[in-house]
Amino acid sequence: MEAVLAHLRGAIERGEYEVGDKLPSEAELCRTLEVSRPVLREALRALQTMGLTVSRTGKGTFVVAGAVEDPTFGDYAASDLMEVRRHVEIPVAGYAALRRTPEDLDHLAHLLERMEQETDTTSWVALDTLFHLTVAEASQNPVFRRVIEEIRDALARQSAFLNELGGRREQSNREHRAIIEALTDGSELDAVDAMAHHLDRVETTLTDIVHRGRTDGAARPSADSTDHRPSTGAGA
């Protein structure tokens, strides 16, 4: 999927497909790129998340931008989502360190154990968003929990996007473990630092994806190259 995405993104950014152009049909792209339809559809969804294309039911996929600016996850732009996460989740981690219960710690530890063993992307993403919701619950402030609930769908979409393209899942698990250790120690400062570091890495990975060079998509992916899957992913 990464190879197909890089090829199509490169073609758009080089102007081979201009704003307003319709991409070839799925059948034609699958034949030309020698990939399966599920792989192609994943790549097309990623293009749309990046803001390069839009899918119009019954009409096809159209180019709407010549370069990646600010990906969109559900109803929210990535930049807006990250800004809110920093202002909410970092202080929430501090409050959680001071107020968490033994049950909160057990729940978080169980979630992380499942995440470290999980190999299915969709299941891991669901656990990832639940982890962040559980940290908010541990703050014992229902307003914080409601805020995370509001952006839960966007968090899942962001996590899935980074999971496919960022190669960072194992690191994300380690960052989650550092958060749990700070909560267990009851250290507000360490919890704030651990969450801030986690969000820094999320934002860095997202920025790297957005600013990858145009030459990434210069060559047409071979059938072999599109069979590869990243061994790890990134979390929200």
61/77 same-domain check: no
65 three-state secondary structure? coil
54/92 same-domain check: no
Residue 216 lies in a domain: no
Residue 154 lies in a domain: yes
62/76 same-domain check: no
Q: Which of 68, 94, 124 is the last residue of a domain?
A: 68
Asked if pLDDT for residue 10 goes beyond 80, the answer is: yes
Q: Model confidence at 109, in pLDDT bands (50, 70, 90)?
A: very high
**Residues 128-138 pLDDT 10s:** 999 999 999 99
44/97 same-domain check: no
CA dihedral 187, 192, 198, 203 (to 10 degrees): 180
Mean pLDDT, all residues of the chain: 88
Q: Which of 15, 34, 68 is the last residue of a domain?
A: 68
Residue 225 lies in a domain: no
10/121 same-domain check: no
90/43 same-domain check: no
The CATH number covering residue 136 comes to 1.20.120.530
203/169 same-domain check: yes
Angstrom distance (rounded) from CA 50 to CA 73: 9
Angstrom distance (rounded) from CA 182 to CA 200: 17
84 three-state secondary structure? helix
Q: Which of 68, 83, 99 is the last residue of a domain?
A: 68
Contact 187, 181 (CB under 8 A): no
Angstrom distance (rounded) from CA 85 to CA 145: 12
Query: How many structural domains compose the chain?
Result: 2
Angstrom distance (rounded) from CA 236 to CA 166: 11
151/90 same-domain check: yes
83 is in which domain, residue-wise? 72-209
Alpha helices for the chain (secondary structure H): 2-13, 26-33, 37-49, 78-99, 102-117, 121-138, 142-150, 152-165, 169-185, 188-210
86/153 same-domain check: yes
**Residues 116-154 pLDDT 10s:** 999 888 899 999 999 999 999 999 999 999 999 999 999
Closest CA to 73 of 83, 81, 65: 81
53/79 same-domain check: no
14/91 same-domain check: no
Asked if pLDDT for residue 185 goes beyond 60, the answer is: yes
Residue 222 lies in a domain: no
193/77 same-domain check: yes
CA dihedral 119, 120, 123, 125 (to 10 degrees): 80
Residue 220 lies in a domain: no
Find residue 77's DSSP bridge partners.
72
Residue 228 lies in a domain: no
Please provide the DSSP assignment of 111-170 as one string. HHHHHHH---HHHHHHHHHHHHHHHHHHTT-HHHHHHHHHTHHHHHHHHHHHHHHT--HH
What angle, 0 to 180 degrees and rounded to 10, lies between the N-to-C axes of helices 2-13 and 152-165? 100
| Residue where the block lists tokens 């982890």 | 131
